[in-house]
Amino acid sequence: MKVVYDVTTKRELRQTHRVATILHKKEVPFKFVTVDLATGQHKAPVYLEKQPFGRIPYIDDHGFILYESRAISLYIAEKYGEQGALLIPKDANDKALFEQAASIETANFDGFAGNAVTEKIFKPAFTGAKPDEVFFETQITELRKRLDVYKKILSKQKYLAGNEVNLADLFYLPYASLLPQMGSQVIEERPNVARWVDNLKSRPSWQAVKQGITSTA
Amino acid sequence: MVLTLYGYPLATCTQRVATVLHEKQVPFKFVNVNLATGEHKAPAYLEKQPFGQVPYIDDDGFVLYESRAISRYIAEKYDSQGALLIPKDAKDKALFEQAASIETANFDGFASKAVSEKIFKPAFTGAKPDEAFFETQITELGKKLDVYEKILSKQKYLAGNEVTLADLFHLPYASMLPQTGSKVIEERPNVARWVDDLKSRTSWQAVQQGITSTA
């Protein structure tokens, strides 16, 4: 089954990688279409018809349009539940712990890591402006405090929701992989967190997308 | 053993969970956590909620935190009673997840920072709000709500024509925005209609009276 997948190009942004990783993990063939951010294609009226917030990515699955990278990932994980890794637990309590882990990611990691990455990497790349180092450091400081809690959680179990990997762990990959590039050691300074990130980065699904995303159908 | 909610009645995330407990008609015991004395930062509390935040639940020994995760757990466990807050059909469910993601990505960050700056910071610390910071949050929120305005011109709720958890997740901060003096909701008729509809639900009305044990 083909999944036509409209996504971003050139400086392939991280939300796109989140979805591509899951497509690979669930062995779902997809077509990849680039959206030219540099020319503002994502803000044009025809694009806004599909993704009204003017963000990337979105998918088109036989006419069904969906945006928000985590929602797309959940849709794929549920639709192809029987193939590839089981990424959403079936047991009610395990599922609740998965939801807890997924919520922790948006509440405690994504905002600070995303701001740090945007300030240090994307802002210079897209606008040529210099990073605001003070702002960058405040984000890293906040991230450090949260990662100290992750350190405790990951000292007792292998992954964020228990001892099996799931979608909530994979959601971290894009920004977690960029932090070292910014000169930040926040992950390396915490051995349990570093172990967990290295484990996620070693997966073939991440290896397949980290250099760039291409159609597999 | 009855489900126990540990939290603070005026805390937005505690209200989020209490609303869903009322929606699903789930009896619960409420235990107040004394934020003023730092009870939520004490070692015994951190054993249950390692980030030192409210709320968490203890459902017959099963401990869970993160208000949206708790809400989902309740909605799924009690799916056959009260409103169906998480759709069953695969595509409807995907649109619900899209709406839930929209809330955390586009609403919660700006709304919570605006409300914290204008209401919680003076209340808890006595410090004056940073008006410039408040205005930037409201401006950004306004841009996102312009998109909500378009979405809600075509359908009754954020994921379609049935209410879902994603709509309810907005209630605590959406209901506090007018107290900040901001008209960011009122200025957008479809958004205002949608927020008024959610605020009129008996579950929210119950939580507004204060959170107390129902079992």
Give ipTM to 2 decimals: 0.94
| Predicted confidence (pLDDT) at residue B165 exceeds the cutoff of 70 | yes
Q: Is residue A2 predicted with pLDDT exceeding 80? A: no
Angle ∠(B79,B80,B85) on CA atoms, nearest 5? 40
Task: With cut-offs at 50, 70 and 90, classify the pLDDT of residue A7.
Answer: very low
- Residue A140 pLDDT class (50, 70, 90 cuts): very high
Amino acid A182: pLDDT: 83
Mean pLDDT of A149-160: 96
Mark out chain A residues that contact chain B at CB-CB < 8 A. 52-53, 64, 66-72, 74-75, 78-79, 92-93, 95-97, 99-100, 102-104, 106-108, 111, 146, 149, 152-153
Phi, psi of A185 (to 5 degrees): -100, 15
Percent of chain B with pLDDT over 70: 100
Of B158, B71, B160, B161, which Cα lies nearest the Cα of B106? B158
Closest to B55 in 3D by CA, of B19, B26, B27, B85: B19
Q: Kindly list the residues from chain A whose CB atom is less than 8 angstroms away from the CB atom of residue B73.
A: 92, 95-96, 99
- Among A213-217, B45-49, B162-166, whose mean pLDDT is lowest? A213-217
Lowest mean pLDDT among A1-10, A28-37, B80-89: A1-10
Q: For residue B77, list chain A residues with Cβ-Cβ distance below 8 A.
A: 92
Please say if the pLDDT value at position A12 is more than 60: no
* pLDDT at residue A14 tops 80: no
Per-position b or e across A14-31, b if 16+ CB within 10 A of its CB: bbbbbbbbbbbbbebebe
Mutation for testing the A interface, residue in B45, B56, B101 having most A CBs under 10 Å: B101
Give the per-residue pLDDT at A13: 55
- Minimal-distance CA residue of chain B relative to A145: B51
Give the whole-number percent of chain A exceeding pLDDT 90. 59
The answer to whether the CB of A118 falls within 8 A of the CB of A127 is no
3-state SS, residue A137: helix
- How far is the CA of B73 from the CAs of A94, B70, B77, in angstroms? 10, 5, 6
Q: Is the pLDDT of residue A167 over 80?
A: yes
- Whether the CB-CB separation of B192 and B28 falls below 8 Å is answered with no
User: Which of A52, A64, A74 is the closest to B97 by Cβ?
Assistant: A74
Q: Flag if A74 and B77 touch (Cβ within 8 Å).
A: no
Which of residues A211 and B73 earns the better pLDDT score? B73
**Average pLDDT in the B84-92 region?**
97
CA distances from B142 to A52, B78, B97, B131, B191 (A): 14, 35, 22, 16, 11
**Site from A99, A104, A145, A160 to mutate, B interface, most B CB atoms within 10 angstroms:** A99
Kindly identify which residue of chain A lies nearest to residue B78, measuring between CA atoms: A92
Question: Confidence class of residue A131 from pLDDT cuts 50, 70 and 90?
Answer: very high
Token pair for A57: 């990515």
Task: Give tens-digit pLDDT for A111-124.
Answer: 999 999 889 988 88
Cα–Cα distance, B47 to B34 (Å, whole number): 16
Calpha distance B127→B118 (Å, rounded): 10
User: Is the confidence at residue A208, as pLDDT, over 60?
Assistant: yes
- Spell out the SS3 assignment of B107-166: HHHHHHHHHHHHHHHHHHHCCCCCHHHHHHHHHHHHHHHHHHHHHHHHCCCCCCCCCCHH
pLDDT tens-digit map of A54-112: 998 899 999 999 999 999 999 999 999 888 888 999 999 999 999 999 999 999 999 99
Chain A residues with CB-CB distance to B102 below 8 A: 53, 68
Distance from CA of B154 to the nearest CA of A (A): 13
Q: pLDDT: is B184 or A209 the higher one? A: B184
Closest-CA distance, B11 to chain A, in angstroms, reads 16
Of B101, B106, B147, Cβ closest to residue A70:
B101
Using alpha carbons, select from B25, B19, B20 the residue that is nearest to residue B206: B19
The pLDDT, as a whole number, for residue A83 is: 87
CA A153 to chain CA centroid, nearest Å: 21
Asked if the model's pLDDT at residue A8 lies above 60, the reply is no
Tokens representing A110 are 């994504």
Q: What percent of chain B is modeled with pLDDT above 90?
A: 98
Two structure tokens written together for B59: 């459902």
A183 vs chain B: nearest CA distance in angstroms? 26
Q: Identify the pLDDT of residue A123.
A: 86
Taking CA atoms, what residue in B is nearest to A108?
Answer: B51
What's residue A3's pLDDT?
46
Q: Phi-psi region for residue A209, left (φ > 0), alpha (ψ -120 to 50) or beta?
A: alpha
Decide if A74 and B94 are in contact by the 8 Å CB cutoff.
yes
Mean pLDDT of chain B: 97
Residue of A14, A49, A68 to mutate, testing the B interface (most B Cβ within 10 Å of its Cβ):
A68
**pLDDT band, very low/low/confident/very high, at B106 (cuts 50, 70, 90):** very high
* Chain B positions touching chain A (beta carbons under 8 Å): 50-51, 62, 64-70, 72-73, 76-77, 90-91, 93-95, 97-98, 100-102, 104-106, 109, 144, 147, 150-151
Q: Which pLDDT belongs to residue A1?
A: 36
Buried b (16+ CB within 10 A) or exposed e, B91-105: ebbbbbbbbbbbbbb
Is the dihedral angle over the CA atoms A25, A188, A149, B38 positive or is it negative? negative
State yes or no: pLDDT of A11 exceeds 60.
no
Confidence of residue B93 (pLDDT cuts 50, 70, 90): very high
